[in-house]
């Protein structure tokens, strides 16, 4: 297997864009430093409701980290209700766990909670897990007939497809399905934004590519061949994410 040289390695996804709403400057600085170290892009921060709403509408981040205690009359729960209306994903970042606050929080729809104090590793893992779960809910499903049974498979969970004569294997992280259709037929049913042909016998989920060189790429624990003719197409797909 050819080695994957560091110069050929890359993360295919654009950095997740984060906006911080927090009233303690020291915590803002700590969070921003931690996020940047982990490869996230910080678009800015605010410590009060009205300003935060304007900046979020302007910058349109992927994710908001939202403290409950803010400057001014309105707090993070008030802001969360507005973000829910905008379908803006957010995570609460807070030390407030009293019953009254929790009762109000139950009326909101956060992706999750990060409780202060937090560690850098905890911050990263909470964000990654929350965003992964959110991404799964946003994707299309694919109906597959395999071994006489119909399966509803989330497209986001599919790692790759492999041709097998006039059949096709569809792989997820923990499952494989042999379907009575050609690779071309199944490929046409997938979301073209997230799936690309890497070789005449393979299609991959570009969001799950971790490494790539001139001859192959890595998706999860799988090494997938990459033909010369498809290399630039795959790169352009990754850059468009």
127, burial (CB in 10 Å: exposed 0-12, middle 13-18, buried 19+): buried
40 band by pLDDT with thresholds 50, 70 and 90? confident
CA distances from 222 to 1, 23, 134, 141 (A): 12, 45, 24, 22
Angle CA(232)–CA(234)–CA(240) in degrees, nearest 5?
100
Q: Which fold has domain 141-239?
A: OB fold (Dihydrolipoamide Acetyltransferase, E2P) (2.40.50)
137 band by pLDDT with thresholds 50, 70 and 90? low
Q: What value does the mean pLDDT take over residues 218-228?
A: 91
The residue ranges of DSSP E strands in 33-89, in sequence order, are: 41-46, 63-66
Q: Please provide the CATH number assigned to the domain covering 15-137.
A: 3.40.50.2300
Task: Supply 229's token pair.
Answer: 């003719």
Q: What does the domain layout of the chain look like in residue ranges?
A: 15-137, 141-239
- Residue 189 has φ and ψ, to the nearest 5°, of -90, -10
Q: Report how far Cα 62 is from the mean position of its chain's Cα atoms.
A: 9
CB 35 within 8 A of CB 48: no
Predicted model pTM: 0.56
> pLDDT by residue (tens digit) across 75-132?
999 999 999 998 899 999 988 778 888 889 989 999 988 988 888 888 988 888 888 7
């Amino acid at each position: 297997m050819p080695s994957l040289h560091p110069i050929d390695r890359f993360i295919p996804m654009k950095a997740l864009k984060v906006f911080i709403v927090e009233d303690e400057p020291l915590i803002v600085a700590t969070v921003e430093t931690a996020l940047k170290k982990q490869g996230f892009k910080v678009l800015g921060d605010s410590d009060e409701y009205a300003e935060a709403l304007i900046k979020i509408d302007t910058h349109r981040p992927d994710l908001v980290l939202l403290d409950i205690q803010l400057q001014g009359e309105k707090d993070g729960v008030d802001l969360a209700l507005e973000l829910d209306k905008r379908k803006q994903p957010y995570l609460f970042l807070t030390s407030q766990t009293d019953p009254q606050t929790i009762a109000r929080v139950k009326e909101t729809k956060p992706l999750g909670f990060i409780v202060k104090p937090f560690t850098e590793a905890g911050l990263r893992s909470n964000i990654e897990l929350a965003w992964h779960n959110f991404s799964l809910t946003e994707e299309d499903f694919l109906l597959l007939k395999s071994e006489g049974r119909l399966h509803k498979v989330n497209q986001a969970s599919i790692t790759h497809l492999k041709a097998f004569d006039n059949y096709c294997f569809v792989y997820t992280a923990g499952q494989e399905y042999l379907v009575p259709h050609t690779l071309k037929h199944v490929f046409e049913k997938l979301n073209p934004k997230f799936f690309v042909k890497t070789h005449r016998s393979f299609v991959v989920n570009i969001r799950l590519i971790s490494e790539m060189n001139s001859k192959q790429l890595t998706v999860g624990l799988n090494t997938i061949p990459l033909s010369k003719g498809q290399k630039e197409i795959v790169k352009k797909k990754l850059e468009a994410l």
